[in-house]
Amino acid sequence: MRALCSTHLIGQALVICLAALVAMQLTDISTGVLWAVAGPSALVCVWLCAKLKEPWAITAGWVLQAGLFLTGFVVPMMFLIGVVFGLIWYGCIRVGRIIDAAKAAREATAE
């Protein structure tokens, strides 16, 4: 599960940075404010990749997904992107748990 979720979070960090560039052109929000929000958000995505071993990390990922969705109030297209990334996050967790269970079953039968 960690590999799938990490890949997703790295992609999300890139999307956050690109969305900030778009927001700079489409909104009247200052560049400093945009990057004060987007920069740390992208860094949290990358940092969370290392913390996916922790039980709270999946919940933190959901908070990031909600935050991405809420950026739609600044750039409306981000509502759609937020929904898509939320669905992908759900899929990564669901498929990742299935893969982890299959690995555990294979290791149990190999012993």
- The pLDDT tens digits for 54-108 are 989 999 999 999 999 999 998 899 999 999 999 999 999 999 999 999 999 999 9
- Are 89 and 57 spatial neighbours (Cβ–Cβ below 8 Å)? no
Q: State the residue for tokens 């890949």.
A: 7
Q: State the residue for tokens 């860094």.
A: 43
Full residue range of the structural domain in which residue 27 is found: 2-110
- Cα–Cα distances (Å) from 102 to 9, 42, 96, 99, 107, in that order, read 23, 32, 10, 5, 9
Q: How many domains does one find in the chain?
A: 1
For the whole model, what pTM was predicted?
0.89
